[in-house]
Amino acid sequence: MMVHIPNVLTPEQVARCREVFDQAQWADGRVTAGHQSAQVKKNLQLPENGPEARELGDMVLAALERSPLFISAVLPQRVFPPLFNRYDESMSFGSHVDNAIRPITGTSLRLRTDVSATLFLSEPESYDGGELVVEDTYGSHAVKLPAGDLIIYPSTSLHHVTPVTRGVRLASFFWVQSMVRDVSRRSLLFDLDMSIMQLNKEVPKSPSLVMLTGVYHNLLRQWAEP
């Protein structure tokens, strides 16, 4: 299930990200890659424990908490502290699948990667190439979104970033451990939740809304993991 979540960050927040990026010292992006991914990864990254990544990561996390669409689609149990990368001309990231388990640096916590997320921080017209391409049973899907918009997709998906041929591609990326591990169940719950929201707009006093909301929460109660 791929979901586009628009306007996660405001234009002012995106501008703050770029201001920080302009002053930052970037490191080799392979530092957070697994063994196989490191062989096809060519980009730059903010040091994950640096003050720049912490400031911007806190901004992103706070924005996600205010996004009903993100909460509905992901049902987050734990979110990996957001990381930030940069693709200059000729940089790319070849086909790979994200690691299943990621330790959270500086803690004893580990996170199961159920959902992968990319938050675009460069306007699409400012660079050529750099599309995120996600493969699923319906084919390949190229994604290049406005700055401040987020795309989420199952972490089991094979995906890659095409080479940047002009300009600079800036983004945040992170993973989520969902309360509902199975992607098909998350998809059903998301569709049900969206339908309930739409019905609430169209027929807000319908008794069926109470019943459907009960079905949603009973399914979530059955499927959610502690």
CATH class assigned to 183-223: few secondary structures
Looking at the structure, give the CATH architecture of the domain made up of residues 3-178: Sandwich (2.60)
Distance, CA of 87 to CA of 74 (rounded, Å): 27
Same fold, 3-178 and 183-223: no
**Which backbone phi and psi does 109 adopt, to 5 degrees?**
-85, 145
The separation between CA 189 and the C-alpha centre of its own chain, rounded to angstroms, equals 19
pTM: 0.94
Q: What is the dihedral of CA 34, 40, 43, 49, to 10 degrees?
A: 0
**pLDDT tens-digit profile of 133-169?**
999 888 999 999 999 999 999 999 999 999 999 999 9
Q: How deeply is 172 buried, as exposed, middle or buried, from its count of CB atoms within 10 A (0-12, 13-18, 19+)?
A: buried
* C-alpha radius of gyration, the chain, whole number: 18
Q: Where are the chain's structural domains?
A: 3-178, 183-223
**pLDDT tens-digit profile of 3-35?**
999 999 999 999 999 999 999 999 998 877 666
